C-alpha cells in the first residue's frame, strides 16, 4: 500500500537516487531507512541490495514493482507537454498554431487568437503545407489533400506543441465563426485516417490528460472558452470512441454553471467503463465511479441542482460518499456523509430540497447538533439556531471560517445570525470549497464578487477593511480594484487610508 503519493511530473533519475540513498542509509544503520525497508519489503527491516531498495521505493509510491514504477514514469514523460512555455515558432504555420490554441497559461486571450486569424488570412497557403495548421483551421480540403498523400499524418505529432493534428483542431480558438460542418468534416477526415479520438497530452506531466474532448469542451480555472463548435465536435469525438469519463474535461467545466457538457457525457456513458488513459496510468486516473462522486460533491457544495439531477443518473444520491485514499483530502474528509447532509451543512438549499423530494432527505439526530446548527444558520433559521445555541462553541471550532463560506455564496441572510452565534466577521477562510484554510476574509469575498450590499452589511457588523488576505497580501479594496468592481471600490475607498496593493495574480 502506498504511504506517499508519487510527485507530480516525476523524474526517474530522482527516483533512482532515492533508491540508492535508501540502500546506503540502511547499510549505515539509519533508523528511518530501516523502518522504510521494514514497511515495504517482504523480508522486513534489513540492509537491501539496490534492487531491494528499488522495490521499497516502488511500493512506497503504491507500485508493485520497480518495473511498474519505471513504466509509469516513462508513460508520463512520453506524453508530457508544456505548451504554455513554448515561445518560438519554426515556421509561419507554427506561429499560427502558437497563437491560435489554448495553452492554459497567462496568455489565453482573444487578442492572441485574433492575431492568429490575421496571420492565417494574410498567408493563404499556410495550411497547405502543415497538417497541424490545416486541422486547427478546419481546412477540410487541405486536410484531405495532405492525408491522401500520406495517411500517417493523421497521427503525426508536430507543430509547436508536439501534438497530434486532432488536438490542434480541438484547442483552436482563433475563428469564432467557423462552421460546425467544417469542424465535423475536419474531425471525421482525421478520424477516418486513423486519428485517435482519445488523443491527449499530460500538461507539465500531471496525470490528468488534456484530451481532444477536453479541448473541445473548454473551461478551466482561467475561464477558457469552449471550442466555437464544441457540441458538434464533442459529439463527433464521442461517436468515434472518446471516453466520456474524462477527468480533465469534467474538472475544467465544473467551475461554470452550464451543464450541457455533463448532459452529453452522461448520455455517452459517464460513470461506466474506463478508457485508454486509465489503462495507461492506472489508479492515477480516477475510476468512472470516483469521477461521478467528485462531480456530485462539487455540485452539492455549490448548490447546482440541475447538475445533481444529471449526476443522479449515474450515482445513488442516497448513498454516503466513499472516496478512496488516493482522492484529495478535501473529499476524503466527507467520507460517510450523505449527499443530503453535505447539502445541509453547506447551505445548499436548492439541492437539499431536490434531494428531499427524490427520497434522500436529511434528518439530523441528537448527535448531529453541530451540523444542525450550521445548517440552520446558513438557512437563516433563527428559531432553530437559537434552540441549538449550546453547540455554537463546537461549531466555531469545527468551522471557524463559516462566515467566509456564507459570504462567498451571497448568503447574507446567514451572516448576521452567524455573528450572533459568535463567529468572527474578520475570520480568514475559504469560499470555494468547504475546507477550513486561512485564505481571505468575508469582506474580500464581497469585494471579489462586486457585492456592495454584502460589503456594507459586513462593515456594519464590524468587518475591518484594512485586513490583508493570506494568499495575495492585499486588502478588500485591492481585490475590488483587481476585479474592477467600481461600486465596491467607491464604498471601501473612503473607509481606509490604504489603496489596494494589487497583489493578486494578473496585475
Q: pLDDT by residue (tens digit) across 86-110?
A: 999 999 999 999 999 999 988 899 9
**What is the rounded (10 degree) CA torsion for 362, 365, 367, 370?**
50
Within 8 A by CB and 6+ apart from 74, the residues are 12
Coil vs helix vs strand at 433: coil
Identify the pLDDT of residue 412. Answer: 97
Residue ranges and CATH numbers for the domains of the chain are: 12-80 (no CATH), 83-240 (1.25.40), 290-357 (1.25.40.20), 366-495 (1.25.40.20)
Q: What is the DSSP letter of 455?
A: H
pLDDT score for 246: 97
Largest Cα–Cα distance in the chain?
A: 78
Task: Kindly report the average pLDDT of the chain as a whole number.
Answer: 94
Give the strand pairing for 80-81 and 200-203: parallel
Grid coordinates belonging to 81: 507537454
Q: How many CB atoms lie within 10 A of CB 494?
A: 8
The rounded distance, in Å, linking the Cα atoms of 141 and 157 is 20
Percent of the chain with pLDDT over 70: 97
Closest alpha carbon to 238 in 203, 201, 263: 263
Calpha distance 360→358 (Å, rounded): 6
**What's the CA gap between 396 and 399, in Å, rounded?**
5
For residues 55 and 49, what is the distance between their CA atoms, to the nearest angstrom?
Answer: 10
Kindly state the helix (H) or strand (E) to which residue 211 belongs, with its residue range: strand 210-211
| Calpha distance 89→119 (Å, rounded) | 13
Give me the mean pLDDT over the 161-181 stretch. Answer: 98
Residue 482, C-beta contacts closer than 8 angstroms, at least 6 positions apart: 474, 500, 502, 504, 506, 507
Task: Quote the pLDDT of residue 5.
Answer: 87
Rounded Cα–Cα distance for residues 245 and 292 (Å): 9
Q: Checking DSSP bridges between strand 80-81 and strand 210-211, what pairing results, if any?
A: unpaired
221 or 47: which leads in pLDDT: 47
Q: Please determine, for residue 503, whether its predicted confidence score (pLDDT) is greater than 70.
A: no
- What's the DSSP call for residue 220? -
As a whole number, mean pLDDT of residues 479-499 equals 89
Under 8 Å between Cβ of 205 and 80: yes
Q: Which of 90, 98, 238, 106 is nearest to 173 (CA)?
A: 98
Q: Is 202 helix (H, G, I), strand (E, B) or coil?
A: strand
- State the pLDDT at residue 1: 57
pTM above 0.75, yes or no: yes
Write out the H or E segment, with its range, that includes residue 81: strand 80-81
Quick one: average pLDDT of 229-239?
98
**Binning pLDDT at 50, 70 and 90, where does residue 2 land?**
low
Is residue 507 very low, low, confident or very high in pLDDT (cuts 50, 70, 90)?
A: very low
Per-residue model confidence as pLDDT tens digits over 317-349? 999 999 988 888 888 889 999 999 999 999 999
Q: Evaluate if residue 497 carries a pLDDT over 70.
A: no
- Tell me the C-alpha distance between 46 and 173, whole Å: 58
Length in residues, the chain: 507
Euclidean distance between CA atoms 481 and 477, whole angstroms: 6
Which pLDDT band holds residue 500 (cuts at 50, 70, 90)? very low
User: Which strands, in side-by-side order, build the sheet including 80-81?
Assistant: 80-81, 200-203, 210-211
- Distance separating alpha carbons of residues 143 and 182, to the nearest angstrom: 11
- What pLDDT is recorded for position 283? 87
pLDDT tens sequence across 194-210: 999 999 999 999 999 99
- C-alpha cell of 206? 500531471
pLDDT band at 447 (very low <50, low <70, confident <90, very high): very high
Residue 37 pLDDT greater than 80, yes or no: yes
Residue 506 pLDDT grade (very low, low, confident, very high; cuts 50, 70, 90): very low
The pLDDT tens digits of the residues spanning 247-263 come to 999 999 999 999 999 99
pLDDT in tens, 142-162: 999 999 999 999 999 999 999
Bridge partner residues of 163 (DSSP): 158
Amino acid at each position: 500500500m502506498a504511504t506517499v503519493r508519487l510527485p507530480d511530473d516525476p523524474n526517474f533519475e530522482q527516483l533512482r537516487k532515492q533508491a540508492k540513498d535508501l540502500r546506503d542509509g540502511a547499510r549505515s544503520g539509519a533508523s528511518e531507512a530501516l523502518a522504510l525497508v521494514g514497511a515495504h519489503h517482504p523480508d522486513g527491516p534489513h540492509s537491501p541490495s539496490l534492487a531491494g531498495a528499488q522495490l521499497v521505493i516502488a511500493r512506497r509510491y503504491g507500485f508493485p514493482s520497480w518495473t511498474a514504477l519505471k513504466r509509469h514514469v516513462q508513460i508520463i514523460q512520453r506524453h508530457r507537454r508544456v505548451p504554455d512555455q513554448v515561445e518560438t515558432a519554426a515556421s509561419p504555420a507554427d506561429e499560427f498554431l502558437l497563437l491560435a490554441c489554448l495553452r492554459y497559461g497567462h496568455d489565453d486571450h482573444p487578442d492572441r487568437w485574433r492575431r492568429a486569424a490575421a496571420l492565417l488570412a494574410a498567408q493563404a497557403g499556410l495550411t497547405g503545407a502543415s497538417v497541424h495548421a490545416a486541422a486547427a483551421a478546419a481546412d477540410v480540403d487541405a486536410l484531405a489533400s495532405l492525408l491522401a498523400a500520406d495517411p500517417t499524418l493523421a497521427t503525426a505529432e508536430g507543430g509547436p506543441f508536439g501534438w497530434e493534428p486532432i488536438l490542434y483542431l480541438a484547442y483552436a480558438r482563433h475563428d469564432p465563426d467557423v462552421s460546425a460542418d467544417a469542424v465535423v468534416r475536419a474531425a471525421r477526415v482525421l478520424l477516418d485516417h486513423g486519428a485517435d479520438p482519445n488523443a491527449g497530452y499530460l500538461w507539465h506531466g500531471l496525470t490528468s490528460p488534456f484530451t481532444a474532448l477536453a479541448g473541445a469542451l473548454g473551461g478551466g480555472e482561467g475561464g477558457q472558452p469552449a471550442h466555437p463548435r464544441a457540441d458538434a465536435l464533442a459529439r463527433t469525438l464521442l461517436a468515434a470512441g472518446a471516453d466520456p469519463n474524462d477527468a480533465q474535461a469534467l474538472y475544467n467545466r465544473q467551475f461554470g454553471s452550464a451543464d450541457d457538457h455533463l448532459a452529453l457525457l452522461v448520455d455517452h456513458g459517464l460513470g461506466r467503463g474506463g478508457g485508454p488513459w486509465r489503462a495507461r496510468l492506472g489508479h492515477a486516473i480516477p475510476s468512472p465511479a470516483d469521477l461521478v462522486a467528485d462531480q456530485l460533491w462539487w455540485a452539492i457544495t455549490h448548490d447546482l441542482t440541475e447538475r445533481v439531477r444529471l449526476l443522479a443518473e449515474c450515482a445513488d444520491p442516497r448513498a454516503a460518499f466513499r472516496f478512496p485514499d488516493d482522492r484529495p483530502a478535501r473529499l476524503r474528509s466527507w467520507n460517510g456523509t450523505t449527499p443530503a447532509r453535505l447539502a445541509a451543512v453547506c447551505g445548499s438549499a436548492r439541492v437539499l430540497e431536490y434531494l428531499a423530494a427524490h427520497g434522500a432527505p436529511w434528518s439530523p439526530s441528537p448527535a448531529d447538533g453541530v451540523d444542525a446548527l450550521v445548517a440552520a444558520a446558513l438557512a437563516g433559521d433563527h428559531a432553530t439556531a437559537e434552540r441549538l445555541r449550546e453547540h455554537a462553541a463546537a461549531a466555531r471550532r469545527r468551522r471557524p471560517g463559516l462566515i467566509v463560506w456564507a459570504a462567498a455564496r451571497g448568503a447574507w441572510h446567514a451572516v448576521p445570525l452567524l455573528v450572533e452565534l459568535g463567529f468572527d466577521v474578520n475570520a480568514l477562510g475559504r469560499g470555494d470549497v468547504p475546507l477550513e484554510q486561512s485564505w481571505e476574509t468575508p469582506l474580500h469575498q464581497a469585494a471579489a464578487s462586486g457585492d456592495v450590499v454584502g460589503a456594507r452589511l459586513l462593515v456594519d457588523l464590524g468587518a475591518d477593511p484594512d485586513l490583508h488576505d493570506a494568499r495575495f497580501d492585499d486588502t478588500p479594496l485591492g481585490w475590488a480594484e483587481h476585479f474592477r468592481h467600481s461600486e465596491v471600490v467607491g464604498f471601501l475607498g473612503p473607509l481606509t487610508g490604504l489603496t489596494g496593493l494589487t497583489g493578486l495574480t494578473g496585475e
